[in-house]
Structure 1
Amino acid sequence: MKILVADDSRVMRQIVIRTLRQAGHGGHDIIEAENGRQAVEMVQAESPDVVLSDWNMPEMSGIDALQTLRAAGIGVPFGFVTSEGSEEMRSRAEQAGAAFLIAKPFTPEAFDEALSTVGLVRS
């Protein structure tokens, strides 16, 4: 299985990857994108099984990346790992086709629960 982690902060990508490992998902192939535009390109080139994306990024936001993928007919499970977890953001994410939204600070259990909803099993 392949997981794409998209965040403009290298440190935050490493924290997400560490949390994935703590949640039992460290054996999956993990690839990284620095912004939404790169995430869209990597989804098209790499065909990941799930995308974990920040919301606010330069060049293209996570929500715009999700909308671009859905408009292209690409249904990869897509979830947000973001600092904002308001009901408005959760609703907007769901309407755009997101599978989940994990708000920071997050736990390995939150990752495991969210990933299990899209069929990603521990590795």
Structure 2
Amino acid sequence: MWKVVLVEDETFVRESVKEIIRWEELGFALAGEASNGEEALELIRREPPDLVLCDIVMPKMDGLELLKETRKAGIASKFVMLTCIGDFESVRQAMEYGASNYILKLSMSVKDLRETLGKISEELCAAKPATPPAREIERGPDVLADRIAHPEVKKIIRYIEHNYDQEISLASLARHVMMGENYVSALFKKKTGETLIHYLHRIRIEKAIEYLRSTDLPVSQIGQNVGFMNDNYFIKIFKRMTGTTPSQFRQSR
């Protein structure tokens, strides 16, 4: 999961951004938030995030100065600037200092945020060293379920094992065990060492590997068979977890 710090002095905007995006489904986790640049800089220095989603105009320290100070500290976090119409000179300077993108707050939509986060995720994946070969990620759900004592976590693991090919979300898993989404997410991570979305992806990729080894089904069909309705997303997650694309994996076998 890519870690995000959200920096915005307007409470309404900050809360809206937090609520309108299903962060985990896009591979991101909110690691912290701040209402001004000074607070944010402390967070970033203490535990550098992968992405800073940052307003430009803020009290104490604005977004542009925060970006500059972050770079002075040798921290390479991606920056996406939230801006209002008329701030384009600040945006231009931010891009010069390495900001990846900007979003207009007045016209910001779920689509804008999802597209921007998708682009950032691709950039982060491209910069990340290749992960271990697929054979090294194969540790079945039964092994994990056997060593987990917590009944609700075990129930989630079994549910994913039997329904990985269906649409699964944090909300649906929370309903399955009749717990709150935030609690379930934190509990699963504490008991297994993995986030729910990472575990779901891992199980789906393991199942995809079985198909690639034992069938001649097209890659797109395999992706659908294991629960990925989008071919590009399937290929991206497969490569993130195995270091190779499904087609390359099949050819190597």
TM-score, normalised by the number of residues in structure 2? 0.43
- Counterparts of 1:34 and 1:65, CA distance in 2: 12
- SS for the counterpart of 1:106 is coil
Which structure has the highest helix share of the two? 2
Alignment partner, residue 112 of structure 1: 114
Match of 2:52 in 1: 51
Residues 80 and 63 of structure 1, relative CA distance in 2, 3 Å threshold: same
Post-superposition offset of 1:93: 1.7
Counterparts in 2 of 1:68-83, with a 5 A limit? 68-83=69-84
Aligned length: 122
Query: 1:60 aligned to 2:61?
Result: yes
Measure, in 2, the Cα distance between the counterparts of 1:46 and 1:25: 21
Letter in 2 for 1:102: I
Q: Percent identity?
A: 31
What amino acid sits opposite 2:34 in the alignment? Answer: A
The 8 Å contact of residues 9 and 59 in structure 2, kept in 1 or not, is answered as yes
Alignment of 1:32-51 (within 5 A): 32-51=33-52
Structure 1: which 5+ residue stretches go unaligned?
Answer: none
Offset at residue 84 of structure 1 (A): 2.9
Structure 2 equivalent of residue 84 of structure 1: 85
Label 1:102 to 1:45 Cα distance change in 2 as closer, same or farther (>3 A): same
CA-based RMSD: 2.4
Tell me the secondary structure at the aligned position of residue 21 of structure 2: helix
Post-superposition CA distance 1:15-74 (Å, at most 9, x none): 11123238x549623421110111111011122221101111111000000011111111
Question: Which residues of structure 2 form unaligned runs of 5+?
Answer: 126-196, 198-253
Q: Which has the higher strand share?
A: 1
Structure showing greater radius of gyration is 2
Structure 1 residues 32 and 70 mapped into 2: Cα distance closer, same or farther (>3 Å)? Answer: same
TM-superposed deviation, 1:118: 1.8
Return the structure number with greater relative CO, CA threshold 8 A, min gap 6. 1
